[in-house]
């Protein structure tokens, strides 16, 4: 099984028939796989050069070129937001990105920070988890670290 499929399987309850946002989607591998079970998937990135998959072949999947610190979505639009292998690249802006995620995800929705990258996992464990005040669940399932934030 591909790594990304293991992630989908692990958080399936938060994706199944849900409106999902992937932030900093890069190649959009996660979004493409999530669109097999989600109601809709919106993936955003500040640039579109990494996308190799054919996003337009899926009617429930769309990409938007967007700065994650200033999303143009209305409040409470998504059930779930996911940052997959992305936090290490957002270090300087992560708090603003998380604040935007909290705004666009419904109350009681889920925000996931998921990574198999060493750099991301260090940043998550050593820095970010100490700063997060809210209801956070952490699970380590090699090679992944899953951080789930319950939105309020
Ligand atoms: C490690 S890469 C890609 C991770 C992606 N989930 C993947 O699996 O390919 C991190 C991504 O963050 C994006 N990024 C950096 N700053 C951003 C911002 N302000 N808003 C949205 N995306 C951003 C980069 O363009 C890059 O595609």
Cα 14 to middle of ligand 1, angstroms:
22
Q: Is residue 8 within 8 Å of residue 37, measured between CB atoms? A: yes
- Kindly report the protein residue whose alpha carbon is nearest to atom 17 of ligand 1: 46
Q: Give yes or no for residue 53 CB within 6 A of ligand 1.
A: no
DSSP conformational letter for 132: -
Does any ligand 1 atom lie closer than 6 A to the CB of residue 84?
yes
Which of 87, 17, 74, 25 lies closest to 50, judged by CA?
Answer: 25
Ligand 1 contact via 89 beta carbon (within 6 Å): yes
* Section 21-36 average pLDDT: 97
Residue of the nearest CA to atom 10 in ligand 1? 86
Which whole number is the average pLDDT over 107-121?
96
Q: How far is the CA of 107 from the centre of ligand 1 (A)?
A: 25
Token match 């419904």: residue? Answer: 106
What is the average pLDDT value for the chain, to the nearest integer? 95
pLDDT in tens, 34-78: 999 999 999 999 999 998 888 889 999 999 999 999 999 999 999
- The answer, yes or no, to whether residue 134 has pLDDT greater than 80, is no
Q: Strand 19-23 vs strand 78-84: parallel, antiparallel, or unpaired?
A: parallel
Q: Which CATH superfamily is domain 3-150 in?
A: Vaccinia Virus protein VP39 (3.40.50.150)
Ligand 1 neighbourhood includes 15 CB (under 6 angstroms): no
Decide whether any atom of ligand 1 lies within 6 Å of the 109 Cβ. Answer: no
Distances (CA, A) of 5 to 8, 34, 49: 5, 9, 23
What does the DSSP 8-state code read for residue 110?
E
Q: What is the dihedral of CA 94, 100, 104, 107, to 10 degrees?
A: 80
């Amino acid at each position: 099984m591909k790594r990304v499929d293991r992630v989908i399987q692990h958080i399936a309850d938060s994706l199944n028939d849900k409106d999902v946002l992937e932030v900093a989607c890069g190649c959009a591998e996660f979004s493409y796989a999530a669109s097999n079970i989600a109601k809709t998937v919106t993936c955003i990135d500040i640039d579109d050069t990494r996308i190799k998959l054919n996003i337009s072949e899926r009617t429930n999947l769309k990409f938007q070129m967007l700065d994650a610190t200033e999303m143009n979505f209305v409040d409470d639009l998504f059930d779930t937001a996911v940052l997959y292998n992305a936090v290490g690249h957002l270090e300087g802006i992560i708090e603003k990105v998380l604040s935007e995620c909290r705004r666009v995800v419904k109350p009681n929705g889920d925000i996931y920070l998921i990574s198999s990258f060493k750099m991301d996992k260090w940043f998550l464990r050593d820095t970010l988890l100490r700063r997060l005040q809210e209801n956070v669940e952490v699970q380590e399932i090699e090679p992944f670290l899953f951080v789930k934030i319950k939105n309020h």
